Structure 1
Amino acid sequence: MINNVVFLNESWFLPILGAAILLLVVFLWKEWTLAGKHRFIIKSTLVFIAVISLVLVVLKPAIHIPKKGGNIALLTPGYAKAQLDSLKKAERGLKLFNYEAGNPLPSQVSSSKKVFVLGYGLKEFDLWQMDGIPALYLNTELPEGVIKLNYKVENSVGDDLVVQGLYKNPKGGYRLLLEGPGETGLDSVELNGENEQAFKMLVPLKAKGNYIYSLTEKDEEGRIIKKDILPVKVAEKEELRILILNAFPTFETRYLKNFLAEAGHELVVRSQITRNRFKFEYLNTDRIGIGRLTEEILEPFDLLIADASSLRGFSGSERNVIGNMVREQGLGVFIQPDDTYFSSRGQLNILSFINFPNTEINDLQWPSIKLNAYPYRIKKEFGIREIHAPGNSIAAAYKKMGEGKIGTAVYSDTWELLLEGNDQAYRQIWSKLIEEVSRKEFSTASWNTVAISGQIDEPFEFELRTEIEDPFVTTGGGSNIPLIQDTSIPYLWRGTTWPRESGWNILHLDTISTYHFYVEDGLQGTTRDDVQILQANKRYFNAEIVEGQGYSPLEPVNPLWFFGLFLICMGGLWLEPKL
C-alpha cells in the first residue's frame, strides 16, 4: 500500500520537514515545562499527531488507483471492420471509442487495462496523450492512392515543375492528371491496374507568384475520384555571373555555356588553345580582360566553373586567391573532373572519393536514362551536402569552405543527353548543380518547413534562421508567435502557429521578411496524410505491451481528514488541563 502513495508537493518536502521539526520542538518544550510525566506522554502524542496532520495537509498525499476499467478499442480513421470484429471475439467486454483529432481522449482510456488502437492512428500532435498508457497499435494496410509524392514547392521562373510519385493499387482505365490554376489539364498519366505504379509529370513555370496545382484522379467517364492540392511558389529567376575556365575546348562546355546563356546568366568563357593563347567568349555581358586570377577579377562572379586540368595549371598565388574568395566572399567553385582528379590532393580538393565499379547512373527520377559517370562516387563524410544521390551513392555534392562552397559531380559527357533528346534531364541536372554551388545573396532570414502545407486549427511548425538577436514573428492577422531558440545554434529559431483560414497564409519577421504557406480546409484528407500518420504511429507505439504497466490514475486524499485529525488533537490539548 505504501508503495502506491505519492506526494503531489514532494518538492516542498525538505522545507516542510524543517518547519515541522521546529514546531514539534517548540510544542514539546512547552508541554515538558508545564505537564507532569504522565500528562507529558499524552500531550506529546497529541502534538506529534497534530504536526504530522499539518504536514500531510501541505504535502497532499495521493494514491495510485488500481485500474478497474476493461479493455478499450480506440477507433481512428481507416480502421478495418473485419479487424474490429475479430478483436471483439477475442476480447470480451471490449469498449469502443472514436478518436477525434485535437480533442482530449475519453477519460476511460487512462484507466483501462489495455488500449487497442485501430486504423491509421492518432495524429502526431495528439500522440502525447498516450504517454504511459499500455497500448497495442493494430495498424491497417496502406491506403489506395498516391502514397509517395515528390515535387519542389519553391521554384524559379523558367524551371520545370516535376511531380513524381508512387500510386498504390491503381485502377485500370483511370487517369492521373496534373492540373494548373483554373483546373486546366497540363499533363496526365494513364493508370495500369497493377499493384503499384510510379508516375512522373512536368510543366514549365513561366510567371512568378503563388499558385495552386492539383493532382487529380478521374475515372473512365471523367468523374473526379480524388484530388491532392499542390501549392507552388515561383520566384524571379536569379541571374548569375559565371566564369568558365577550360584547359582546352570541350563539348561539355560548348553545350553548357549555351544552356546557361539561354537561361539568362552572364558568362565569360576562357578556353586555352595553345600554350599562351586563349579563346574568350562573352555571353549576355560586356567584354572584360581575364588574365592571371586576382581578387579584382573574381569579385564580380558568383560561380567559377573550372575543369580539373585548369585547376592543376593554376599557380600557387591563383589557388590562394580562389581559396580566399571562397572563404571570405562566398564564391562558389564547381570542378569538372577528369580521370586523375579523383586521386589528386590540393588546397581546393576538399572532397574525398571512393572507387565504384559502375560507370552508369540509373535514377528513378529518369528511369529510362543512363548517365555516364566516372568509376568513383563521393565519400559521405562530415560537411558533405548531397546534390544528387541515386541509390546509396553520392554522384554530386558540395562542401562549405568559409562563406562559399566547392562542389563537383562524377558525371561525364552529360552533353550526350541533349543529342539523345533528353533535354529535360540535362536542364534539371545542371540547374540543380548551378543553384546549389553558386554564391547566394545575403538574406536577412531563411525559412524552412517540413510539411508542404498546413491544416486549419492544426499546428504548423517552421524554422527560422536569422542573425537578428530577438526576432519577432507575427501571422497575417497580427498575432505574435512565440519562438524557441536552439540551444546549439543561436541563429536557429523554431515556432508553431495554428492557422484559422484556408488558402495562402503569411508569416512576418518584423518588417524585413515574409514567408507564404498554404493551408488546406481539412475537409478531405489525402492518402499521403494517412500514410504519414500511419508511419508516425508505428514509430511511437511499441510492438508489444506488458499487462499492468503504464499509467494508473492518482486520487488525492481528501485534506479534510488530516485537518479534522489536527483539530481533534488541538481540542485534546485544550481540554486535557481542564479534566
Structure 2
Amino acid sequence: MTDEFLNFNPLFNISWLLPILLLVTVLLIVLEWIKAKRFIIYRLLAISIAMISLAMLLFRPSYLTKDKSDQYLVLTPNYPTHVVDSLLQLHPELMVASYGDSSKRQSTPQIQTRQQLKDLDGKIAFIAGEGLSKSYFNLLQHKTFGFLPATKPIGIIEITLPINTFPGQWSSIKGRINIQEPTTLQLIDPAGKIDSINFNQTGEQDFTFLLLLKQAGNVLYTLQTITSSTEEKFSIPLKVSEREKLEILMLQLAPSFEIRQLKNFLAAQGHGIQIRSQLSKSNFSYEKVNTDKKQISTITNDVLKDYDLLILENATLEQLSRIESEAITKATNAGLGVLLLMNQQDNKNKYAKSLMDFSMMKDDRDTVHLWFYGTTKKQIIKKLKQTIEPKQHIIPVLVNANEILSAYRYQRFGKVAIQLLNETYQLRLAGDSTAYANIWSDLITLTSRQKINNTDITLTDEFPYNLKESIQFSVITNEEKPILYYEGKIAPLMEDVLIDNLWSAIIHPQKTGWNSVQLNDSTQYDFYVSSKEEWSALKQQQQLNLHQAETVGLNYSNHEKVSRYNDIPSYLFYLTFLLSMTFLWLAPKL
C-alpha cells in the first residue's frame, strides 16, 4: 500500500481550489493588517488557523494507520488460493469474511446484506477473487485496500458497440476474447446472415465485425462462440437513429460536378439544400431541394443562423466580399458548421486564411489509394497535393495510413472542416455509392451545427445490463420537477447538488429484452436487458477492472503491517474554524 502518511479526497479540484483559498487568505490578512494593531499577531494567527481549517474541510484528509487489529480479508468467487494462503501466513491476525460463492472456506462468515458490508467499511485490508459487484463496491467509502485478482475469465472479456448510428452507415463491433482452445466467433444479423472469425491460437485475441445498418429502430444481432464442446450465444442490441434533417447552404463560383453529386447524395437523405452559383460579379443562379428557405442574395449572419452547414470550395471563399466573409466567421463562432472543399493550394484572402487555420504539409502525390468498408477493391481518388498536419486541436475524420485527408476543428461554438479529396463524384457515377458514403457521411454529420436538446437521457453504466441488477440513468432536463417512469411506476430522481438541470436515477430491470424509461415530457430512452446467464466472462472482467482501477497498490511483505487510511473527523475542523472566527469577532471589542 502507499506509504504517504496523509491522503486527501477533495470535494473540488485542488488545482483551482488551492489558489482561491490562498488568495482569500492573503486578502483577509491585508484587510486585518490595516485595522487597529491591537492583538494583531493573534488576529493574523486566527485567520491562518481558520483558513487552514476551511481547507481541511474541503480537502477531507485521512491518515495512515498500521494497526493490525480489526482488519479483514474479503474472499470473493475464484480467489487465488495460493496467494491467499501466503497472505494469511504473513498476516495471521487478519479476519476473513466471504462474499458470493467463495465456498472453499466454509467456516468464514458470509457477507449477505448491504449493511453487513457497510459495517466493514474502513476495516477491509484486502479483497481477493473476482471482487464485489458494482452496487456493493460503491457502498464502500474507503477504498484503501489491496486487491488480489482472480485469473482472467474465459470468453468475451471486452466489447465495444457502435453509438450514434444511422441508416446506410457502416459501423463496427469490436472486442476481445480469451480462449483456451480453437474457437469460431460468429455474428448473426436479424435476417440470419452469418459473418465469422476463426481463432486457432489460445490466449487473448482482438476481433472486429463490420456491419451496414439499413433501417432506423432497435435491432438485435447475435454473437456466438463455438468450440469443440460448447456453444454460447450473446445478444448484441443496437439502436439506429433517424437522421436529423439538416439545412445546408452550398456556394460555388460556377456549377460543378462535385457540388451537384454531393447535393444529390444529401437530398436523397432528406436534407434541405439551397445552392447559390455565381454567374457573374453580380448575377447568381439558385437551386433549392427539400427546403422552403427564402432565396439568398447576400450572405449575412442573420441568414446563416437558419443553416446547420455551409459547404463551399476554398476558391469560392476567397472571392467572397469582406462583409460576407466576416458574416461567415461570426456565424461559425455562434455554432455554424463550415465545410471547405480544397480545390486550390493557397488562400491569399486574409479572411479565407483566418477561417482555414489548418497547418498543411506539401505532398507530391495528387492521388490516393483508399479501401472502404463494404467495398471489394481499392479506389484511386484525386487529392490536393497537400496533407493535414496532425495537431492537438485537429480532429481527423478520414485517414489513410498516417495521412489525414479530411478533418475538422472547433471554432468557439461552431466547427470548420476541410476535405482534400477531389472529384469524388466519379465514385457515384461509377455506381459505388458505398465508397462515396464513406467519404462524406461522417464528415457531414460531425461538422454540422450541434443540436441542443433540452432533454436527454443516458445510461451511465457499462453494457451489459442484467435482470434485477441496479443500473443508473443520467437525465438532463429544464423541467423543474421531472418525473421518470419505468414499467408504469415512478423511478425516484435525485438532483445533482453542483450542476443545474442534472438528475440521476437507479432502477432494477424487471424483464429481459428491450425495456424503456420515459420522462413526463414524453422523452423516451430504450435499453436492452440481457439474461443472467449471458456475458458472464465480460461482467467478471469489468468487475476485475473496477477493483484494479479504484483500489490501492499491494504490499504484504514480512516487514510491513497491513495499513489503511482513516478519515480525520471533520467536526474538529468545524470547531477550530468557529473558534478562530469567534476570536476575530471578539478581538476589536476587548
State the AA in 1 paired with 2:321.
Answer: S
SS in structure 1 of the partner of residue 541 of structure 2: helix
Aligned to 1:510: 520
2:254 and 2:323 map into 1 onto residues whose CA distance is 22
1:217 to 207, 210, 225: 225
The answer on whether the counterparts of 1:110 and 1:552 sit within 8 Å (CA) in structure 2 is no
Aligned to 1:557: none
Note if 1:149 corresponds to 2:148: no
Residue deviations 1:523-552 (CA, integer Å, cap 9, x gap): 433443333322221121111346243268
Aligned to 1:192: 199
What is the total number of aligned residue pairs between the two structures?
476
Note if 1:534 corresponds to 2:541: no
Aligned to 2:43: none
2:477 and 2:324 map into 1 onto residues whose CA distance is 34
Aligned to 1:376: 388
State the AA in 2 paired with 1:238.
Answer: E
TM-score normalised to the size of structure 2? 0.65
1:352 and 1:169 map into 2 onto residues whose CA distance is 49
Change (3 A) 1:365 1:90: farther
2:488 to 472, 477, 490: 477
CA drift of 1:93 comes to: 8.6
Aligned to 2:573: none
State the AA in 1 paired with 2:192.
Answer: G
1:287 and 1:474 map into 2 onto residues whose CA distance is 39
The answer on whether the counterparts of 2:72 and 2:124 sit within 8 Å (CA) in structure 1 is yes
CA drift of 1:264 comes to: 3.0
Worse overlay, 232-241 or 340-349: 340-349
2:418 and 2:143 map into 1 onto residues whose CA distance is 51
Larger Rg: 1
Note if 1:549 corresponds to 2:563: yes
State the AA in 2 paired with 1:436.
Answer: L
CA drift of 1:445 comes to: 0.9
Aligned to 2:340: 335
Change (3 A) 1:176 1:241: same
Worse overlay, 132-141 or 208-217: 132-141
Worse overlay, 192-201 or 365-374: 365-374
1:204 to 213, 217, 228: 213
Worse overlay, 421-430 or 465-474: 421-430
Note if 1:239 corresponds to 2:250: no
Change (3 A) 1:320 1:471: farther
Change (3 A) 1:333 1:481: farther
Residue deviations 1:261-317 (CA, integer Å, cap 9, x gap): 332333334455776776755555689755432467656543211222222221122
Change (3 A) 1:445 1:501: same
The answer on whether the counterparts of 2:245 and 2:271 sit within 8 Å (CA) in structure 1 is yes
1:102 and 1:355 map into 2 onto residues whose CA distance is 62
Note if 1:293 corresponds to 2:286: no
The answer on whether the counterparts of 2:67 and 2:561 sit within 8 Å (CA) in structure 1 is no
SS in structure 2 of the partner of residue 380 of structure 1: coil
2:519 and 2:395 map into 1 onto residues whose CA distance is 28
SS in structure 2 of the partner of residue 239 of structure 1: coil
2:183 and 2:289 map into 1 onto residues whose CA distance is 49
CA drift of 1:342 comes to: 8.7
Change (3 A) 1:377 1:189: farther
Change (3 A) 1:92 1:294: closer
Note if 1:179 corresponds to 2:189: yes
Aligned to 2:447: 437
Note if 1:406 corresponds to 2:444: no
SS in structure 1 of the partner of residue 199 of structure 2: coil
SS in structure 2 of the partner of residue 465 of structure 1: strand
Aligned to 1:31: none
Structure 1 residue runs without a partner (length 5+): 1-63, 554-579
SS in structure 2 of the partner of residue 185 of structure 1: coil
1:421 and 1:164 map into 2 onto residues whose CA distance is 29
Worse overlay, 411-420 or 245-254: 411-420
Residue deviations 1:505-539 (CA, integer Å, cap 9, x gap): 33333234222222334343344333332222112
Change (3 A) 1:392 1:127: farther
1:552 and 1:431 map into 2 onto residues whose CA distance is 54
State the AA in 1 paired with 2:165.
Answer: N
1:151 and 1:428 map into 2 onto residues whose CA distance is 19
2:259 and 2:417 map into 1 onto residues whose CA distance is 15
Aligned to 1:49: none
Aligned to 2:9: none
SS in structure 2 of the partner of residue 375 of structure 1: strand
Aligned ranges 1:34-113 → 2 under 5 Å: 67-68=68-69, 72=73, 74-76=75-77, 79-80=79-80, 97-100=97-100, 103-104=113-114
2:369 and 2:480 map into 1 onto residues whose CA distance is 46
Please report the RMSD computed on the Cα atoms of aligned residues, expressed in angstroms: 4.7
TM-score normalised to the size of structure 1? 0.66
Aligned ranges 1:246-395 → 2 under 5 Å: 246-247=252-253, 252-271=258-277, 282-284=288-290, 289-294=295-300, 298=304, 301-323=307-329, 325-326=331-332, 331-337=336-342, 340=345, 346=351, 349=354, 352-354=357-359, 374-377=386-389, 379-381=391-393
The answer on whether the counterparts of 2:74 and 2:99 sit within 8 Å (CA) in structure 1 is no
Change (3 A) 1:469 1:143: same
State the AA in 1 paired with 2:197.
Answer: E
CA drift of 1:500 comes to: 3.3
Change (3 A) 1:516 1:387: farther
SS in structure 2 of the partner of residue 156 of structure 1: coil
Residue deviations 1:79-119 (CA, integer Å, cap 9, x gap): 45565566677766987644239943669966978424223
Aligned ranges 1:22-41 → 2 under 5 Å: none
Change (3 A) 1:107 1:483: closer
The answer on whether the counterparts of 2:286 and 2:295 sit within 8 Å (CA) in structure 1 is no
Change (3 A) 1:146 1:512: same
